[in-house]
Structure 1
């Protein structure tokens, strides 16, 4: 039976602590167990093909790509004795992959401890969407310091609500902020703290859509913008802007084609005047009117991006398990990591 690597990947993701890069590494390690390759050349080719197939099936392959590329590079550079049997070599690769994932799950705690020195008593922090490493950092800081948190709602998935519920249940004062109210709240915060899908070779950040606008506003307000990223999310790619990301397609935020009208007909107004409006529905500038908020359709939401790209000049520091790095430092670390 042919090994289904995407099914293996999805199965590993059912663990709430497992991020896409680590799930990708475990899926590739599982593929090695099921491989019929008889040489290292054949195994490496199978790994690369499986990684590409996995990326194509994933709706958001960015973080997954970082993990797959890391494991393929590790496999390619893995030292082995020429007298060693190929079966033993394969077992070692699997064991090293599984051991790395086990160790990598501790990286969030390392980042939380490293970040603690930058979080002062009575800090007011703005975060975005939901991030496991950000959650662990805030909960760790709450043990010894007084902090308060603003969290964006993070449309369209609304994951800011999950962050809000977890923080308030831990006793941390937290308020949800409309995505459109980030500039409004920026003067109240001491710094911004966001997670990451990936940190690329330029030192730029790929994260949940809305991160870029938070960074732009923070820069204008002279507030630090910190990114938290485990080193397995360091990705050797070099996008110049959001449109270079693999998640961007021609339909992303594309304008619809104008409707054709028969000759001689004029366009109808988009909003028709209402007649005989009851007095209860007439609003004065200072009155409060009950209304039902409109919602976006599934098709409209699908046209919006899931992630965006934040330029390195907007990022103050990247906190990682390998240290607190400037964006330039991330680039240097990546070169060394893939150079063996």
Structure 2
């Protein structure tokens, strides 16, 4: 018996609400893990369908569909890598227990992602540098806070990031920890860019192309940085790697661009997209828990993750 969609959504939101530091992707994985622990499936196919239905229910919430989809797909793929002789076991409980142990391992690994990314970024900081960032990103925030704790001094410029003003949240979090920071109007990115030493960006999803899906306005910043020869560094956990190959804005799936509520209304003409696609040519490096890579290396890493 599959769990009710509303119940899955409520459990997911409860996990997100219980920890302000948890990412949407990790909350999705923990929700699937809980379903795995409660599962009474008797075959691998039945379990796969149960987890797929749960992932679809999560995508119907108004959280980042990009992050949810990639995290759920990678979690399902990771736990299902079982030895052939185990899958032949007539007692499926043994298989379930193996999947659960794999789930434990996956969650433990992902929980360390931000620390690994922060460590990778540290050598790229310089004292008294100006850094521009967009919107609110938990992994970018941790990277900046860790660098400050390591004794590095810098000034952060944060875009206001309309329409939800999420940049203000980032600004407050930085100032609370004593980091010098300034709020920048989205329209003023070009004005301040010449003073920047580097740009730090998070991502809702890293595409197979090496480009990223992120909060609307990211593309504007990246294009401006490219024109002014400023490096653009992206920080993203590997659970955000997505098997999608967009070539332009029109290629972004609708469920990535709009909330589930907006899509259900079937009237998207009045809706503004929540994200945009930044092609790989505007990105200098991508920092992940798998290491530092160029955008061109993402496709190869995706192959490794899914094989």
Q: What is the aligned-residue RMSD (CA, Å)?
A: 1.9
- 1:41-81 Cα offsets, whole Å, 9 max, x none, are 21112222322232234453110001111012123333362
Q: Distance in 2 between matches of 1:248 and 1:83?
A: 43
TM-score w.r.t. length of structure 2: 0.89
Equivalent of residue 218 in structure 1, options 225, 236, 243: 225
Q: Distance in 1 between matches of 2:118 and 2:109?
A: 15
Partner SS, residue 88 of structure 1: helix
Question: Within 5 Å, which residues of 2 pair with 1:1-340?
Answer: 3=3, 4-14=7-17, 15-79=19-83, 81=86, 82-83=88-89, 85-143=91-149, 144-245=151-252, 246-248=255-257, 251-252=267-268, 254=269, 303-339=271-307
Between 1:50-59 and 1:222-231, the stretch displaced more is: 50-59
Q: Which residue in the other structure is 1:288 paired with?
A: none
Partner SS, residue 222 of structure 1: coil
CA contact (8 A) 1:126 1:191 kept: yes
Q: Distance in 1 between matches of 2:83 and 2:68?
A: 25
Q: 1:248/1:230 Cα in 2 relative to 1: closer, same or farther (>3 Å)?
A: closer
CA contact (8 A) 1:59 1:247 kept: no
CA contact (8 A) 1:35 1:43 kept: yes
Q: Which residue in the other structure is 1:295 paired with?
A: none
Q: Distance in 1 between matches of 2:242 and 2:225?
A: 25
Partner SS, residue 328 of structure 1: helix
Q: 1:89/1:72 Cα in 2 relative to 1: closer, same or farther (>3 Å)?
A: same
Q: Distance in 2 between matches of 1:316 and 1:251?
A: 37
Between 1:102-111 and 1:186-195, the stretch displaced more is: 102-111
- 1:63-107 Cα offsets, whole Å, 9 max, x none, are 000111101212333336234732132133223323422331221
TM-score w.r.t. length of structure 1: 0.81
Q: 1:239/1:5 Cα in 2 relative to 1: closer, same or farther (>3 Å)?
A: same
CA contact (8 A) 1:242 1:248 kept: no
Q: Residue 138 of structure 1: CA displacement?
A: 0.6
Q: Distance in 2 between matches of 1:79 and 1:203?
A: 32
| The structure with more radius of gyration | 1
Q: Distance in 2 between matches of 1:2 and 1:76?
A: 19
The number of residues matched between the two structures is 291
CA contact (8 A) 2:80 2:99 kept: no
Alignment gaps of 5+ in structure 1 = 255-299
Partner SS, residue 217 of structure 1: helix
In terms of fraction of residues, the more helix-rich structure is 2
- 1:285-316 Cα offsets, whole Å, 9 max, x none, are xxxxxxxxxxxxxxx6xx11211110011100
Partner SS, residue 77 of structure 1: coil
Q: 1:325/1:142 Cα in 2 relative to 1: closer, same or farther (>3 Å)?
A: same
CA contact (8 A) 2:204 2:214 kept: yes
